[in-house]
């Protein structure tokens, strides 16, 4: 029996897909019909503005409105942002990007892992059988299908002996 953490599995798949798009420079960008707003502290806004060109290469088109309001005009097509998710994401970005000791590669991986996490299936989300099969196919193709970007396992094998032991039965399998 294979037990799968659907969130961790989809997080791994999305992480690798987005990392590849970022590396190849083929990120599909989706302009937003109505820009999303996020209120930030002045220091957060300074950090976002400082890294705005880098974020544009990641598929984000962010403008400033007022001293501490950021507008999201476009985002990577792979991800869907709501107003609260955008505010939370910008807060996280300004925190991570504001850490000068973090190398650019670490920042990129951290940002992409967070984006993949936010987009992934959540606990108690219903997953149709064909979606689950597609996820397993995609996970098989992943470079590291056994762990999400944060290091948590995506799946584990439960043998017949493990199941028998759980039911306090002797296993002759």
d(CA 140, CA 9) in angstroms, rounded, equals 10
- CA dist., res. 95 & res. 145, Å (int): 29
Domains in the chain: ranges and CATH: 2-156 (3.30.1370.100)
DSSP per-residue codes, 86-123: HHHHHHHHHHHHT-TTS-HHHHHHHHHHHHHHHHS--T
pLDDT value of residue 157: 94
Q: Is the pLDDT of residue 171 over 80?
A: no
Give whole-number Cα distances, 83 to 40, 71, 87, in Å.
Answer: 13, 10, 6
pLDDT digits (tens, 9 = 90+) for 115-127: 888 889 998 899 9
In the predicted model, is pLDDT for residue 135 greater than 90? yes
pLDDT interval class at 172 (50, 70, 90): low
pTM attached to this predicted model: 0.73
């Amino acid at each position: 029996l294979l037990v799968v953490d659907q969130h961790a599995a989809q997080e791994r798949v999305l992480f690798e897909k987005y990392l590849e798009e970022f590396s190849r420079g083929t990120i599909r960008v989706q302009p937003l019909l109505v820009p999303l707003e996020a209120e930030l502290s002045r220091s957060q806004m300074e950090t976002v503005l400082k890294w705005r060109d880098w974020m544009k290469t990641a598929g984000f088109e962010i403008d400033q409105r007022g001293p501490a309001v950021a507008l999201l005009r476009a985002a990577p097509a792979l991800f869907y942002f709501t107003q609260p998710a955008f505010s939370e994401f910008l807060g996280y970005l300004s925190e991570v990007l504001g850490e000068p000791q973090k190398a650019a590669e670490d920042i990129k991986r951290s940002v992409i892992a967070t984006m993949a996490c936010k987009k992934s299936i959540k606990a108690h989300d219903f997953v149709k059988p064909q979606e689950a099969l597609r996820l397993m196919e995609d996970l098989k193709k992943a470079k590291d299908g056994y762990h999400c970007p944060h290091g948590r396992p995506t799946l584990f094998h439960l043998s017949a002996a493990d199941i028998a032991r759980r039911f306090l039965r002797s296993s002759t399998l």
